[in-house]
Structure 1
Amino acid sequence: MADAINYNYLMHRAMRGLMIELLEEIAQTGLPGEHHFFITFDTNHPEVEIADWLRERYSEEMTVVIQHWYENLEVLEDGFTVTLNFGDSPEVLVIPWDSVRTFVDPSVEFGLRFEVEDIADDASNENTPVDDESPMIEIEDDESDLRKDADVVSLDSFRKS
């Protein structure tokens, strides 16, 4: 057993699980009411599959909106696929969970921010200590961010110095 519990990893896994569960439900039943999602992901992730013209335009990250027009939302073990409309041109996107940086539902002021580094894909690292200066999940209020409407909780106040 390790010397410390890796709370960052456990929180990361729980937050990813929340996002996955929401997308699974939406894939089956559709979006209720005014709910919609802004999902920002790393376009340089090796398993991201998007059209070449999208990758050229969004060379580092891209935010997609799942709201009025989306089709074929499918939740997979390693990520999700969705068809979105870009200027009357439907495009299929394959987005791995590890590439997701933010998940926001502005209709209820909810947001998650995931650090790009994914320290522990392997469950065997669950109890491995993590450097406190580099949290795996950062949930904070950033007024300059497009998703500034979300109420977010900072986990930093719960950390031991």
Structure 2
Amino acid sequence: MDRGIDYGNLMHQAMRSLIREVLTRVGADGLPGEHHFFITLTTQHPGVTMADWLRARYPDEITIVVQHWFENLEVDENGFAITLNFGNQPEPLYIPFDAISTFVDPSVEFGLKFETHSDDDDEDDDDDEEAPMIHTDTDPEPRKAGEVVSLDQFRK
């Protein structure tokens, strides 16, 4: 059955692409100015690679900070590898883009939030589907994918 255009999935792909592009630029050129990222991810997501002790400490979710010290940032089509400092101990991580639930750059009041919801009408896909939510710090109410918003409210 033809379901039409799946805008939610297209938005999901576009937002993951945006994160991929940002991290690719940071990997090549470093963080410009005051930019830094808070990235929240599901630690149990397939493909997430981290030290056992770190996963034991954060069994469901962790928020990493990419700011002052990071090394070996390498981005591929599906995710990124990075070494971060946890208690003066460098730890390599691999994070698939699909494991990310939020990506925030507070220096410019930009954030993406991907929420999982159940879609009872969807028989062909998994029970849980992610729909991207877009928000900024000046816009505390996240907007659902497919909701039309004016870009003027995001301009400074």
Cα RMSD for the two superposed structures: 2.7
- Runs of 4 or more, structure 1, over 3 Å off, are 149-153
Cα distance, 1:109 vs structure 2:
0.4
Report % sequence identity.
54
Q: Indicate the residue corresponding to 2:27 in structure 1.
A: 27
Structure 2: tracts of 5 or more residues without a match: 149-156
Matching of residues 1-161 of structure 1 within 5 Å: 2-116=2-116, 136-140=131-135, 149=137, 151=139, 154-155=143-144, 158=147
Q: Which has the higher contact order (CA 8 A, sep 6+)?
A: 1
What TM-score, normalized by structure 2, do the two folds share? 0.79
Instruction: Name the one with the larger strand percent.
Output: 2
- SS of residue matched to 1:83: strand
Q: What is the number of equivalent residue pairs in this alignment?
A: 140
- Counterpart CA distance in 2 for 1:63 and 1:135 is 19
Cα distance, 1:98 vs structure 2:
1.0
- Counterpart CA distance in 1 for 2:57 and 2:102 is 19
What TM-score, normalized by structure 1, do the two folds share? 0.77
Structure 1: tracts of 5 or more residues without a match: 120-127, 142-148
Q: Which string of whole-angstrom CA distances, capped at 9 and with x for unpartnered residues, describes residues 83-103 of structure 1? A: 001111000001011101100
